[in-house]
Amino acid sequence: MVEKDSRRLIPGTDTLLSHPRIQQAAQRLSPHVVKGLIRSAQQRARRGELAPEEVQSEVLAQLGSLRASSLQPVINATGVIVHTNLGRAPLSHSAREAVAEAAGYVDVEMDLSTGRRSRRGAEARRALIEACPHAEDALVVNNGAAALALATAALAGTGEVVISRGELVEIGAGFRLPDLLAATGARLREVGATNRTHLADYSAVAGEAAAVLKVHPSNYLIRGFTSSVPVADLAALCREHGLPLIVDVGSGLLVPDPLLPDEPDLSGALADGADLVIASGDKLLGGPQAGLLLGSASMIAALEKHPLARAMRVDKLTLAALEATLRGGQTPVQAALHADPEALRSRSADLATKVGGQVVAHEGRVGGGGGAEVPLPGWAVQLPDSAAAALRAADPAILTRTTGSVCLVDLRCVPQEQDDVVAETIRSVLASLPAEEGGRP
C-alpha cells in the first residue's frame, strides 16, 4: 500500500481565504500581505516545519499579531528627552488629535468662504508668527537641513557664504554642514579659527560675500580660550554691506528658557537683527519633523519662489501637528524638561518598591542636539544590566539607560499614567530572568 503524501493535505489558498476568521482578520491588511502570510505557512508545511492541520492556525496567529505599520510604540525610560532614535519629540495630545483630523480631506490649500485656492498652511504660519512676533512671515519645509539648504540656495545662489570655522558642524550619521551647503552650489568662505572668531574676520570678507551664516553648534561645546560674534554685531555688519544674515538656532526654542541659558532662541535671534532664522520643529519646540524659517517678508517671499521650495514642502499632517503644537497645551518635551526632581524621586521610589529595584540619582539630558551637556537632575530605578535587552523585547518595549553594569529606568519622559504598565512589564521581565542574571528566584 502506497503511503499518502501528507503535503496533499495542506489547505489551498482559496480554502484559507474563504475561512470566516481569516476573512475577518484580513480586513486590516491588504490582499497581497494576507496571501503572502498564507504562502509562507504553506511553504513551511511543505518543508515539514508545520503539520498540514496547523497551517490555518499559523495563518490566524500571524494575522493577529501583524500590524499594517512596522513602527512599534516604545516607552522612553532613558532620561533623554529628544531621542533621535525614538523619533525625537513625542507629539502633544492636541497635535495627535490634529493629525487624526487631517488624515481625511481638509482645507489645507483652499479658502472655504470663496471656494478658491489659498496659501498653503496659512494658519500654521500664522501660529509661528504669533509665537515669534519679531517675524514678519514664516515658511515651513520638511526638516532643518532642508530649511538651511533652501535659504542658502535662494539667498546666496553660487556666491560666497561666510561662516565661522567653529560652526562647521557634523551631526549624526556623518552628516556635515559644509557638504550640505556645497551641494546647493554656494561657495563656503571660512573665517576665524576653530575656537575663536572675531567681527574683524567677517568684516574682512564681507565685500565679496553673498550672505553670512551663523550656526549654533548645538551638539557640542568648545570651552576655554574661545570667542564668537553675537548676532547683533553680525546684523549691524550685514546691514552695512547689504548682506542677508541667516541664523540657524538649531533646536527650535521659541523664547529663552532659564534651564538652558546658553541655548539660542528664535525670538532672540530675530530681535537681535537676523534677517532669517532657522530651526527644527521636532526638538525643543516639541512638534513634528519640520524645518522652520522665520524672518522678513522679502526673505520669505524669495524662498517661496525658489524651485526647491516645492520639493521641500510639507504635507497636511505636518502642518496640522505644527499648528496644534504651537496653539495647544504643554508639550511632552516641555513637561519632561521641567519635570520636578522631587516628583521624579517619588515616582521612582514607588516603582522601586513594586519591582524590587534601587533608587539612584540620575541626570537626564535634552538630546537631539539641544542643551549640549546640560544636566537635568533626576532619579532612576537601578535594575540588573541583563534586564535591558529583555525590556526592549517586551510588550510594550521599554528603552532604558545602560552603563555596562546596570540598567537604569528613568521616568522623566514616561507619562505618569504609564507607571503601572512600566512596573508590570518590569516585574514580568525580572521573573523571566535566570537567578544568576538578577532574576527573581
127-161 pLDDT, tens digit per residue, is: 999 999 999 999 999 999 999 999 999 999 999 99
Question: What residues contact 119, with CB distance under 8 A and at least 6 apart?
Answer: 109, 125
- Which tens digit of pLDDT belongs to each residue from 398-409? 999 998 789 999
The strand order across the sheet containing 358-364 reads 74-77, 397-402, 406-409, 376-384, 358-364
The H-assigned helical ranges of 75-208 are 93-102, 122-131, 144-155, 177-183, 199-203
Query: Phi/psi at 216 (nearest 5 deg)?
Result: -80, 115
CA distance 9 to 53: 8
Indicate the length of the chain as a whole number.
Answer: 441
Q: Cis before residue 396, ω within 30 degrees of 0?
A: yes
Q: Average pLDDT for residues 384-389, to the nearest whole number?
A: 94
**DSSP string over 355-378:** HT-EEEEEEEB-BTTBSTT--EEE
Q: What angle do CA 126, 338, 403 make, to 5 degrees?
A: 120
Q: Which of 173-187, 244-258, 289-303 has the lowest mean pLDDT?
A: 173-187
The DSSP secondary structure of 10-79, one letter per residue, reads SPPHHHHHT-HHHHHHGGGS-HHHHHHHHHHHHHHHHTTSS-GGGHHHHHHHHHHH--SS----EEEESS
Q: How many CB atoms lie within 10 A of CB 321?
A: 29
pLDDT of residue 437: 65
**What is the model's pLDDT at position 2?**
44
Q: Residue 250 has what pLDDT? A: 86
Contacts of 360 (CB under 8 A, 6+ apart): 379, 380, 381, 382, 408
Segment 100-109, tens digit of pLDDT: 999 999 999 9
The pLDDT of residue 415: 97
- Only one residue has cell 519662489, namely 305
